[in-house]
Structure 1
Amino acid sequence: MPINTPNMPNPTKPDLTGLASSYEAGTLIEPHAHKAHQIVHAISGTMRVMVLDRIWFVPPGRALWVPAQTEHAIRCIGLVEMRTAYLSEAYAAPHSGVLVIAVSGLMREILVRLATCDEAGLNLALAEVLLAEISDGVLEPLSLPIPADSRIAKLSNQLQANPADQTPLPAWAKHLGYSERNLIRHIRSETGMTFRELRRLTRVLVALDRLSAGQSVTQVAYDVGFETPSAFIHAFRTIIGQTPRQFMAGV
């Protein structure tokens, strides 16, 4: 679909623009890049953003920092109300790579204001505060590797599409045409994780979509394949650093 993009900021001087946009569930914004740094935040709905060799999960209460000239694609999970700020390359990038940041109340209000404000002087003042918030924001471990190997990518995609799938490693090896030992080696080389670690991380990240949609912790735990809610809470806290309720309280 066409990319809903405002006029980009002037690249030769400190400048920024804001954008408010809405996307239906399932919308795919095709791969593209901007000549400006970007901070994108969904005030409702969740996004999955594909950048280079990683897929980033962006629930409400979090934002994705994308440096200028970085190609990315966005998949909208549910109806997404998006607020975006584009910052000129004249600003020093507070982070060199793509990452997810916890959105403070102040950052959220700035992003909402920039989407409706057209006052150059005020925008420049807000830019300084926004950059400080981005620089100091809490970084979130909300991404999965995108395997280059097509068979490992197939495994990863299936785990995302059906996180409750209990297919054991030997069955996956047979299905993908590997010996069990070779599959273990390829998963490690492609993702940096064991099969168990990859499946657990995938389940926790997919759970973010469902928690953000208002499902209960208990329902989500079973839906993404954990045997008990307590096992889900333990895995979530181990990976995210908070319990599901604590994480969602920041939305």
Structure 2
Amino acid sequence: MRNTHWDDHSHPTHELLWNERGASTATIGSRTWTVTPSVGLWIPAGVLHSGWMPAGTWYRAAQFSVVSVPSISADAVAVEISPLLRQLLERLAGELEPDARSRTEAVVLDVLTPASRSLLLRMPRSELLAPIARALRDDPGDTTPLSEWATRLGVSTRTITRDFRAETGLGFGQWVATVRAHHAITELAQGVPIDEVAAMVGYTSASAFGTAFRRITGESPGRFRAS
């Protein structure tokens, strides 16, 4: 299997994405969500989005008619994929009579719950921050300190921190940790050993990586992999 990329597109239906195995991403504008077996993404009808899935990932998608199903949100929202929701989605994937489908869809809406951790990454888009965003996107293990970036870009560290918070809602260090966690999720889902993932995303030890990963995702790397 190969990595798969979907260019920007939209659907006339509401879409719910989740994975049976592995991690994938969905991007809307400057925001990228990581989709896993436990955290899915609801995308309202008509919302332009792109996607990426590494080889070996088993992704799923369910479509909901705008006529019979109101959107749970005007914008995309991460949702918990509970065992009950998974069973309901499996039922919807089969052949159902219209009335049975409508009843099942109604229960799906009742049990959909926003995820406590949305695994959302906002990418800065300004000309000033673009070099930093590209560097970390291409190599999450890049350890260039804030002071060095300030020197390269000819601005103060305060300016970079201020602009990062304005564009992403996070300070520079928090944003870097989030980029690393998103990349790590994909690697962990593909079975890469935890200590190797830690080194790949710029941590000197599995312990430091575990602490940072837990702060972003709410789970340890080992527990995430087990789920």
Alignment TM-score, normalising by the size of structure 2: 0.87
The alpha-carbon deviation at position 102 of structure 1 amounts to: 2.3
Match of 1:133 in 2: 111
| Residue from 88, 93, 112 that aligns with 1:110 | 88
Q: Which amino acid aligns with 1:142?
A: L
Match of 1:93 in 2: 71
- Counterpart CA distance in 2 for 1:25 and 1:62 is 23
Match of 1:20 in 2: none
The alpha-carbon deviation at position 179 of structure 1 amounts to: 4.4
Matches within 5 A, 1:231-246: 231-246=208-223
Kindly tell me: are residues 103 and 246 of structure 1, through their superposed partners in 2, closer, same or farther at Cα, counting changes over 3 Å?
same
Corresponding residue SS for 2:135? helix
Kindly tell me: are residues 46 and 242 of structure 1, through their superposed partners in 2, closer, same or farther at Cα, counting changes over 3 Å?
closer
Match of 2:53 in 1: 76
Q: Which amino acid aligns with 1:105?
A: P
CA contact 1:83–1:111 (8 Å) conserved in 2: no
**Residue 123 (str. 1) matches residue 105 (str. 2):** no
Please, which runs of 5 or more residues in structure 2 have no aligned partner?
Answer: none
- Counterpart CA distance in 2 for 1:142 and 1:200 is 12
Matches within 5 A, 1:142-221: 142-221=119-198
CA contact 2:25–2:52 (8 Å) conserved in 1: yes
The alpha-carbon deviation at position 167 of structure 1 amounts to: 1.3
| Residue from 28, 38, 49 that aligns with 1:61 | 38
Kindly tell me: are residues 119 and 45 of structure 1, through their superposed partners in 2, closer, same or farther at Cα, counting changes over 3 Å?
farther
Corresponding residue SS for 2:34? strand
Match of 2:10 in 1: 33
Kindly tell me: are residues 232 and 163 of structure 1, through their superposed partners in 2, closer, same or farther at Cα, counting changes over 3 Å?
same
CA contact 2:77–2:114 (8 Å) conserved in 1: no
Match of 1:13 in 2: none
Corresponding residue SS for 1:141? coil
CA contact 1:152–1:190 (8 Å) conserved in 2: no
- Counterpart CA distance in 2 for 1:160 and 1:79 is 21
Please, which runs of 5 or more residues in structure 1 have no aligned partner?
Answer: 1-23
CA contact 2:17–2:35 (8 Å) conserved in 1: no
The alpha-carbon deviation at position 146 of structure 1 amounts to: 2.2
Q: Which amino acid aligns with 2:210?
A: I
CA contact 2:56–2:190 (8 Å) conserved in 1: no
- Counterpart CA distance in 1 for 2:143 and 2:101 is 51
The alpha-carbon deviation at position 28 of structure 1 amounts to: 1.6
Aligned residues: 226
- Counterpart CA distance in 1 for 2:98 and 2:134 is 44
Kindly tell me: are residues 137 and 154 of structure 1, through their superposed partners in 2, closer, same or farther at Cα, counting changes over 3 Å?
same
Identity of aligned residues (%): 30
Q: Which amino acid aligns with 1:94?
A: I
CA contact 1:49–1:72 (8 Å) conserved in 2: yes
Alignment TM-score, normalising by the size of structure 1: 0.80
